[in-house]
Structure 1
Amino acid sequence: MLGSLTKGADLTSMIVSASLLKPYSSLQKLGTDMMSRSNYLPEIVACKDPLERSLMVAKFFISGFHPDTFDGKKPFNPILGEQCHHVFNHGEEFGKSYYFSEQVSHHPPIFAAHVVNDKIGVKATLTGKTKVIFGGNFIDVKFPGHKEIYFKEHDELYTIETPFLCVRGVMGIGKKGIERSGQLIVRCEKTGYVTKVHFKPLGFLGLWGTWNAVDGHTKLVTKEKGKKKKELLKTFDGYWTSTINVTDAKSGEKEVFYDYEGMSKYNIKPVEIPLEKRSKLDSGNVWRKAIEGILSGDMKSANEGKHEVEVHQRELRARLKKEGKKHEHAFFDSIKDDHWVPKEEAVAQYILSELSVH
């Protein structure tokens, strides 16, 4: 299949057999990955030092990255309107984090996600415009879009840029695997701290470089007489799948900044909510037949389930077009193509009516 493609081909909406799919939607994976170590959030809120806080925000987003195994399969592409909601219970002292996500556009594919925890005063909003590009012997998977997290206790808003995924060796040449590439950038305009962590890609065919290596820095960015002034505070080096070290730019003192295994103490799983108590548009319900078929090895049933969803989507789009209507989004409004914001009233109502009991 890939052999017939030209370099630069867009694979975002490519239709494949259920045998080449993982038993979950990409919308499901997004939430469980990002929030997998969200027990760390209360510690960020409790931190009194703004520089340390900014570093902790970077650590939180790195902690949402997990090593992936290259098996030639991909998640389901979410349908328009598909939803995935989670509840993460941090205990009586720190309350619950409610995670919402919705596929707000199918062509082009765009997802929006929102996290809210009123007990500790944390809100996060993310938009991702999925781009899957064939590069010959590799595939790049990118999610550009506006991402931010807000801490009420400190009145600090951080904007986030994230690295992308690169699937290497898809044509059987060179090293095979999945790596992160690009930069994690964490900015806080109020404090002026900017942290950049560069996820270093392997060289051509993997002939040089090391898997999962990173470097980077933290700078204080201020303005003096209308000109930007940048002061180097910290530098980073190491591997995001094991340990990343931080060196103080002034003293030269070096210590462990990030420990992948050490962060596991903040692991948390979402509260189990039965599918029958979830929305019909929940990922688990949308793809239920296909997922059950994949898990049981019944590819005929899996393909039937997948086909039924695709046919229903085509019919829905045709009906909306005929009636001159647009799809109504349940939980998000668009500011612009790459920036969607939550409908606060709809989110609050859903928490009270559907999620508060969990």
Structure 2
Amino acid sequence: MSSKDPHSGVPASSKGSWTSFLKSIASFNGDLSSLTAPPFILSSTSLTEYSAYWAEHPALFVAPAKEADPEKRALAVLKWFLSTLHQQYCSRSEKLGSEKKPLNPFLGELFLGKWDADAEVGETSLISEQVSHHPPATAYAIRNEKHGVELQGYNAQKASFSSTIQIKQIGHALLSLTPPGADKNDPAQQEKYLITLPALHIESLIYGTPFVELEKTTRIASSTGYIAKIDYSGKGWLSGKKNTFSAILYKESDGEKKPLYTIDGQWSDSFVIKDARKNEVDRFSVKETQTTPLTLAPLDQQDLYESRRAWRDVAAGIERSDMDAVSVAKSKIENAQRELRKVEKSEGREWERRFFKRVNESDDEVFRELGPKLGLTSLESDKTGGVWRFDAAKAADAKPPYHATGGEGLGITA
């Protein structure tokens, strides 16, 4: 039994509101994202920014495209995916002391940037867009044209309470890469990888220092016949360490009983890759692998709908712990958005997505090919507002203003 005091991570002034919050989520029936969290647990970052975590190691992101052997490419994809988990699920609690509740994006919100610090890697661009509000869903496209690598996907979170906060992630990611010698402009020569998303739950909630723990299984299926399976065990029963996982890469035709590679370790710290003969072939350490900062346009040059500019008054209020200012700034955006939805409904139209399009699940060739390999029969599109795919034609030469609707959609009056 832990000797740690309950609520030990909660500021003294917030202990009452934190106790009330814990009671409210324990008895809540529905989607927890609609609950109001105490101020000290609020983040000044919007959920649209989380898409950037996929590519904060740009060299690892493009590494598979440099590998001539299909098996080694599939392994490089698995290594890259595992390298993203620390940033996606651990970096915030390390930086801020605990996991924080992000800002809920508004429909049409954008987060745009690029990584271009390494000449050998070249420019990697990010487009993240809130494509649905009810239910909330964020879509993203991350592209490196020099190496012919593109990641696109979308996700939504469904939260519930069962002894702690449980979060089911709905959606998936699609990685396309161009093998050495192939034509980057010919889709038929590209390899495709379908990636499922991990389920997670929140640990240490009672102490007021929540952090994410992954659970269950994710899989990656490739168009070249390789399957990766990652099992998350949380605090490993052998190691006793949090964030423990084990992964295998195998040929679909051979089955998972004959793995080509095994990977074990902690996704928040380090892991070791071994071949079928148990020889170590590679290892990865979070501490020894620096992330590359994302470059954004200066705030005053950003579009009105870009996250940092749109939420700046809210973020400033959160940083100052001025909840009255936060409430006023948030309400201005939320009320304007509600009015916009009313107008659209009365005119029989819907908000036009800027960089993504809704597609029919049954018409999506990549999912039809790779989904069955992972046992997926449905994309649960009713829970994400649709199946979302990046529209390269819409993105070509895109410049602000990105939306036809101006500041009135955010409560900004000239």
Instruction: Give unmatched runs, 5+ long, in structure 2.
Output: 1-20, 181-189, 362-380, 403-414
After TM superposition, the structure 1 = structure 2 runs for residues 68-87 of structure 1, keeping only pairs within 5 Å, are 68-69=92-93, 71=98, 73-87=100-114
The one of 141, 157, 160 aligned to 2:167 = 141
Deviation of the 1:255 alpha carbon:
4.7
Distance 1:352 1:41 in 2: 28
The 5 A counterparts of 1:1-358 are 1-5=21-25, 6=27, 9-16=30-37, 19-31=40-52, 33-66=53-86, 67=90, 68-69=92-93, 71=98, 73-136=100-163, 138-153=164-179, 155-172=190-207, 177-190=211-224, 192-202=225-235, 209-222=240-253, 231-249=258-276, 251-264=277-290, 267-335=291-359, 336=361, 337=381, 339-350=387-398
Distance 1:49 1:352 in 2: 42
Q: CA deviation at 1:148?
A: 0.8
Q: Do the aligned residues in 2 keep the contact of 1:125 with 1:149 (CA within 8 Å)? A: yes
CA-to-partner distance for each residue in 1:57-79, whole Å, 9 max, x for gaps? 11212222222426363110111
Distance 1:3 1:231, change over 3 A: same
**Structure 1 unaligned runs (5+)?**
none
Shift of residue 19 of structure 1?
Answer: 4.7
Aligned residues: 340
Rounded Cα–Cα distance in structure 1 between residues aligned with 2:120 and 2:400: 19
Q: Distance in 1 between matches of 2:400 and 2:289?
A: 31
* Separation in 1, partners of 2:259, 2:302: 49
Q: What CA distance in whole angstroms lies between the structure 1 residues aligned with 2:233 and 2:332?
A: 41
**Residues 71, 283 of structure 1: CA spacing in aligned structure 2 closer, same or farther, 3 A cutoff?**
same
Residue type at the aligned position of 1:38? P
Determine the C-alpha separation between the residues in 1 that align with 2:268 and 2:282.
Answer: 13
TM-superposed deviation, 1:20: 3.7
Question: What percent identity do the matched residue pairs reach?
Answer: 26
1:329: how far off? Answer: 0.7
SS at match of 1:313: helix
Taking the aligned partners of 1:57 and 1:353, their CA distance within structure 2 comes to 35
The offset of 1:162, in angstroms, is 2.4
Aligned amino acid, residue 65 of structure 1? L
Going from structure 1 to structure 2, the CA distance change for 1:83 and 1:50 (only over 3 Å counts) comes to same
SS in 1 for 2:170: coil
1:129 and 1:210 map into 2 onto residues whose CA distance is: 29
Letter in 1 for 2:193: Y
Q: 1:153 to 1:53 in 2, by over 3 A?
A: closer
Report the TM-score when normalising by structure 1. Answer: 0.85
- Relative distance call for 1:334 and 1:199 in structure 2 (3 A) is same
SS, match of residue 262 in structure 1: coil
CA-to-aligned-CA distance 1:118-141 (integer Å, 9 cap, x gap): 1111111111022122223x1123
Looking at secondary structure, tell me which structure has more helix per residue: 2
- Secondary structure at 1:12 match in 2: helix
Residue 222 of structure 1 and its aligned partner are, at CA, apart by 2.0
**TM-aligned CA distance change 1:319 to 1:352, over 3 Å:** closer
CA distance in 1, matches of 2:399, 2:292: 20
CA distance in 2, matches of 1:159, 1:85: 24
Identify, as 1 or 2, the structure richer in strand: 1
- Counterparts of 2:157 and 2:270, CA distance in 1: 29
Asked if structure 2 preserves the Cα contact closer than 8 Å seen for 1:10 and 1:134, the reply is: no
RMSD: 2.7
The CA distance in 2 between the partners of 1:16 and 1:7, in whole Å, is 13
Conserved in 2, the CA contact under 8 Å of 1:186 and 1:195? yes
* Secondary structure at the counterpart of residue 194 of structure 1: strand
CA distance in 1, matches of 2:340, 2:210: 40
Q: Deviations over 1:83-132 (max 9, x none)?
A: 11111114444321111111111111111101122111111111102212
Aligned equivalents of 1:213, 1:324: Cα separation in 2: 50
Query: Does the CA contact (< 8 Å) of 2:172 and 2:197 recur in 1?
Result: no
Question: For the residues of structure 2 that align with 1:352 and 1:306, how far apart are their CA atoms?
Answer: 23
Q: 1: distance between equivalents of 2:170 and 2:249?
A: 22
| AA in 2 matched with 1:217 | I
TM-score, normalising length: structure 2: 0.75
2 CA distance for matches of 1:34 and 1:3?
35
Between the aligned partners of 1:202 and 1:8, the Cα distance in structure 2 is: 28
Shift of 1:279: 1.4
Task: Give 3-state SS (helix, strand or coil) of 2:121's partner.
Answer: coil
